[in-house]
Chains A and B, each alone.
Chain A
Amino acid sequence: MLVGARGLVLGTIALVGLWAAWELGLDPRDLIPGSGGLALAGELFSRAFSPAWTYESAVPEGTVPLPLKALEAARVTVMLAAAALGLSVVVGLFLGLAASTATWVGSAHGGRCAWGRCLNVTSPAIYGVSRVFIALLRSVHELIWAVLFLAAFGVGQFSAVLAIAIPYSGTLAKVFSEMLDEAPRDAAEALRSAGASPAQIFLFGLLPQALPDMTAYAFYRFECALRSSAVLGFFGYPTLGYYLAASFENLHYGEVWTYLYTLLGLVLLADAWSGALRRRLVPGGVR
């Protein structure tokens, strides 16, 4: 063997990458901006350290001050993300359970009673169908759903929530099912030998060991949902992205940074919150 399996995989990835670059005609010189682009970039980034506190153009009497407007946009962003993630966690949890092999561990032995026999027949089907369904949910990006719903229902909060919740449910379900599968099964085996039923084995032997990771991952997805929710503003939903895009088009770069920093603040807050929770949940962490 001249190259190991790992070398073969890495080599193949590198070759595919080069081939794709050649097919696309990638040219590093394209990255050099024209003089107009350079000026625009310069203008934008020169405002990075001086975000706007007031509007950069005349606004009608009675318009809310810019910082308040940014905060209101942040509130809508958080609300959309929270609603979408709440929905996704519920759907993801149920689909994740159905698509985890661990869920069906206990029932593999239950072939004698009617319910056990029934599960033995149906569980591979439930497992397979839910895995395919999860793949379907994940295969379409939230922005595509947003465009679709925009065309179908117009701008509405619920369509924005659904656009995020559909792919997020799929991702959460996939990762939840994997975390359940990776949870150690020794405690489950002990409960089985003490006469626990499959449902009890799952609830008290497997789920508690996967729960800290599942919670931490849900929090990470909340951060992602915040960004997605902000980006949905580009399609007219009143989140941070909506005002960001408007300010950018009007060349109000100071306002752009105001909104960007607000988004950054949101993500940092979510991160701090999930970090604190993780330290509490994960063993060996700071008490």
Chain B
Amino acid sequence: MSVESGSAGPAAGFRLESVTVSFGSVAALDAIDLEIARGEAVGLVGPSGAGKTTLLRVLNGTLRPENGTVEVGGVDLGSLSESRLRQVRSRIGTIHQDLRLVPNLRVVRNVLSGALGRTSLAGSLRLLFLPPRREVLRVHELLERVGIEDKLFERTDRLSGGQRQRVAIARALYQEPTALLPDEPISSLDPARARDTMELLLRLSRDDGLTLCASLHDLDIARTFLPRLVGLRAGRIVFDRPTAELSDEDFRRLYDLEGD
């Protein structure tokens, strides 16, 4: 599979420095330092409520931390205006756990909506109501890459959960992203499909040279597929090492219910 024309430029790296986010009095992220190199594949692991989704929202620029700096592709997000921040977001392909597609639209429209961030309002009206043939072909190409090209004109709510997830992945790819941020991409899939999805995400990001940062609650999958794991617990980073260097003891401590 080749990198097609119009694909993303160089992948973006991320750098967080003492990032703190709190919801009310609860610290969701507590002075997080994290660096993800361009084109790297990283897994975020940890128990529910550890702050994995919050961290992804900081990385994709939808959540401004009250403390600390966030850099995406070398640009400090804190200094950006809302419209410049939108440009940064438009190049980060977030794949939400609950997919967040528009159920009563056709698949092609949902994928096309990935381009809104880099399209003017008038341009997006044309793109969604009278999509140029070239763009529909591009959507078809992306659906081919995720394996559901026959669903191009199907209504999204008629698809199975696994197929809908692939629509969400295609929408993220249509953003021409520099990074893919899947949030719990395998949480609602059976083991065989979970492995398929992980392979797909890794292949896509490798082929297009994208940075990949996925949150995962399934340790076995995380250890099998991702070369580097960041363990989060109660908003703090417990470990951040190459997967090969991590022991069962590290994971036991990460999920240990007693030791807080």
List residues of A whose CB falls within 8 A of some B CB: 109-113, 116, 186-187, 189-197, 199-200, 203-205, 208-209, 211-212, 281, 283-284
A203 engages B90 (CB within 8 Å): no
Q: Could you list 11 A-B pairs, sorted by A, with CB under 8 Å?
A: A193-B60, A193-B96, A195-B88, A195-B91, A195-B116, A195-B175, A204-B124, A208-B104, A209-B102, A211-B104, A281-B104
Chain B residue nearest to A188 (CB atoms) is B100
Tell me the count of chain B residues lying within 8 A, CB to CB, of chain A: 44
Contacts of A200 in B (CB 8 A): 116, 119, 121, 124
Chain A residue nearest to B93 (CB atoms) is A194
Chain B 99-129 near chain A by CB (<8 Å), digits 1 or 0 = 1111111000100011011110100110010
B82 engages A209 (CB within 8 Å): no
Given contacts A189-B100, A209-B102, contact A195 B82 (CB under 8 A): no
User: A152 CB to closest chain B CB, in angstroms?
Assistant: 41
Main secondary structure of the interface of A (DSSP, over half): helix
B100 engages A186 (CB within 8 Å): yes
B125 engages A190 (CB within 8 Å): no
A116 engages B100 (CB within 8 Å): no
B86 engages A212 (CB within 8 Å): no
Query: What separation, in Å, do the CA atoms of A192 and B158 have in the docked complex?
Result: 25
User: A99 CB to closest chain B CB, in angstroms?
Assistant: 22
Contacts of B168 in A (CB 8 A): 190
A187, A197, A199, A281: which contacts B102 (Cβ < 8 A)? A187
B83 engages A187 (CB within 8 Å): no
- Interface membership of B94, Cβ < 8 A: yes
Chain B residue nearest to A283 (CB atoms) is B157
Given contacts A200-B116, A204-B113, contact A195 B90 (CB under 8 A): yes
Query: What separation, in Å, do the CA atoms of A211 and B158 have in the docked complex?
Result: 18
Contacts of B61 in A (CB 8 A): 193
Q: A195-B90, A209-B104, A281-B104 are in contact. List 13 more A-B contacts (CB 8 A).
A: A186-B98, A190-B99, A190-B101, A194-B94, A195-B118, A195-B175, A196-B90, A196-B117, A197-B116, A203-B121, A209-B102, A211-B104, A283-B155
